[in-house]
Amino acid sequence: MLVIDEQGNKLGEFLTEDAVRLAEDRGLDLIEVAPNGRPPVCRIQDYGKLKYERKKRAAQAKKNQVQVQIKEVKLRPKTDEHDIGVKVRHARRFLEEGNKVKVTIRFRGRELAHRDIGSQQCLRVARECEDLAAIETHPRMDGRQMFMIIAPNARTRARAAERAIAEDPEAEVELADRDDGDLGEE
């Protein structure tokens, strides 16, 4: 196996027993770094210190990421124009903060027969926020409710991250949800 010392220098290839003895002589542990390598690579290092450093790095990465939340805007099929405008402003504010928005239309009684009105309201909210967001989940029914999810686009998320950095200049911000694939658009 290939052995690397605590400073990162290659010591050369050793037999397993010799590498273990060398690590014990130095009062450290022999840690297998790349078991599938040819030859396998091991490092002489303090295992407790390695675990501590990994834990610290993971905690720092967790601290620096922005968690995307889902905020909800609730409407009814009979919601008036002005009230829809207020809800759209709320949705825009949530999107500018970098959060996703769930638009929910709640149907009661005979309103359930007019699902098209609910769908139109969902799409209207999306249309009025299209400069900030894209539809992630199109309107669909769930029991007596219709819902749609709109997510901030790459430009909006970048602006939200810049604002987060401006509020806390020492923190490096990493976006948590990079799995959506639309980062290259626009």
Rounded Cα distance between 13 and 8, Å, is 14
Rounded Cα distance between 137 and 32, Å, is 45
pLDDT tens digits, one per residue of 92-117: 999 988 899 999 999 999 999 989 99
Query: Residue 55: what pLDDT?
Result: 93
DSSP state of 110: G
pLDDT tens digits, one per residue of 56-88: 998 888 877 767 789 999 999 999 999 999 999
Rounded Cα distance between 133 and 151, Å, is 5
Domain over 66-167 is classified CATH 3.30.110.10: yes
Sign of torsion, CA 62 8 11 27? negative
Q: CA nearest 144: which of 101, 124, 115?
A: 115
Confidence label for 170 from pLDDT (cuts 50, 70 and 90): low
**Length of the chain in terms of residues written:** 186
Q: CATH fold of 2-62, please? A: Ubiquitin-like (UB roll) (3.10.20)
Is 34:40 a contact under the CB 8 Å cutoff?
Answer: yes
- Where exactly are the structural domains of the chain? 2-62, 66-167
Query: Residue 181: what pLDDT?
Result: 45
The reported pTM is: 0.56
Confidence label for 8 from pLDDT (cuts 50, 70 and 90): confident
